[in-house]
Structure 1
C-alpha cells in the first residue's frame, strides 16, 4: 500500500482554523475553571490538543494506492476508485510552478477527473534533507505501483532530466 495525496489549500486552512479554535477554547476553559494563575497551563494544554487535532485531520486526509483499488480519504468520507478508471498518469508543472504527479480518470460523475498524488517543488539539487529523501521514496513507490498496474505515465522531459540527474531516478520505460 502506498500513501499519497495532496491536501488542497482551502481544506488545510480549515484544519488549521479548527486546531486554533480548539486550542483557544480549551485554554479558555482551563483559565475559566482554575483562574488566571493557570494561564500558561491553559495555553500549553490548548496548543497540544490543537496540534493533535490538526495531526489527526491531516493524517486522515490522503490517497492510498493498493493492488486492488485507489482509496481517497478525507476526515469525513472515503471513496474507492477502481484501477480500470485510470487512463494515464502525468508528471508535469501545476498552476503553482510545482511538479505534480496526477492520474487522469474517466467515468464517474464528471466526464474527466484528475487525482493529484504528489506535488513537490522542482528538484534542483541532490537530496539534501529528510523531506527530499521522503519525496524521492514516494515518487519511486508511486511509479512502482503504476508500473505494476500497467498505467502509462507521461513525464515532461525537463522533469525526467532533473529527476535522473539529481535524484538518480531513471525515466519511465513505458
Structure 2
C-alpha cells in the first residue's frame, strides 16, 4: 500500500514538473520567435483571449492589438532576453531585458522589468509586466538619455512620444524622425569641432 501511495505521489510530481517545463518552453519559444521576427509563430503562441498588462493597466487588450505592437517592434528591431525566476502552476515569472534600435539610436539603456506569463491550454493568455528590483533608479537613468530628443521632438514637431501609436505606420514615422534628429544633432556636433 505504501509503495502504491509513493508511486502515485511520484506520478503526480512528474506530471506537475512536466507541465511546468512545457510552460517554460512555451515562453522561451515565444521570445525566440519574437526575436527572429517570425510573426506567424509568435502570434500562434498566444491565446485567442490574450491580454498584456502593466500591473493592472491594459497595454494590449487582444491579439489584434498585440499584432500591431509586433509590427512596431519589427520596424524597431526589438529583441528580448529573459531569465526565468520562478515557475508555479501556470505562471512563469522572468526578468526581461528588452533591446530596441530606437533606444540604441537615442543612447538609452535597454528596458528592464519583471514579467509574469500566464499560460492556458498551451498558449500564453496574459503577460503582466511589473517593476523588478532597482526598477525606479534604473528607469530614471534610462529616461535621462531621452530628454534631449523629447525636447527636440516637441520643439520641431509639437509631438510627444505618446502621440505615436504602437503600429507599423507610426514606427516608420518615428524611425524617420529619429534619423532626422540624429542627422541634425550630428551636424551641430561637427560644427562645434
Normalised to the residue count of structure 1, the TM-score between the two structures is 0.31
Task: Report which of the two has the higher share of helix.
Answer: 2
How does the TM-score come out when normalised to structure 2? 0.29
